[in-house]
Amino acid sequence: MKRVITYGTFDLLHYGHINLLKRAKAMGDYLIVALSTDDFNEVEKGKKTYFTFEERRQLLEAIRYVDLVIPEESWDQKLTDVPLYQIDYFVMGDDWQGKFDFVGEKTEAEVVYLPRTPEISTSQIKADLNKRDSDD
């Protein structure tokens, strides 16, 4: 069985997220999504999410491509998750290109950066909503 893992915040879930999850799942038999916790997002990533961790978890668990959702609580966790879950493919969007090569160097997983869906992003959605609010 080929196992795949990906990491992210997955706030304001959109079709770009679904495309990434679908392509990640196509690489193996079992897809694990490590979902950034609220604390990790706020303290380490400097992000405030619209949906809570539990709400984002429920959304991800409802997607047919996702087999398991685990909490992501630190950057270093990737190096322990890969052997713990016997991961074959460590997958991230290509906006992270090169940032996680060390995972492949320190584990037996292959690191793959998948192209993002170019016309959509959570940051763009938030910017559009803020612009719409300021125009009202």
Can you tell me which residue has the tokens 């719409």? 132
Active-site annotation holder among 22, 25, 45, 106: 45
CA-nearest of 132, 84, 125, 76 to 108 is: 84
Is 45 marked active-site? yes
Q: Mention every residue, 6+ apart, whose C-beta is less than 8 A from residue 133.
A: none
Active site residue 47: yes
Q: Which residues are catalytic?
A: 45, 47
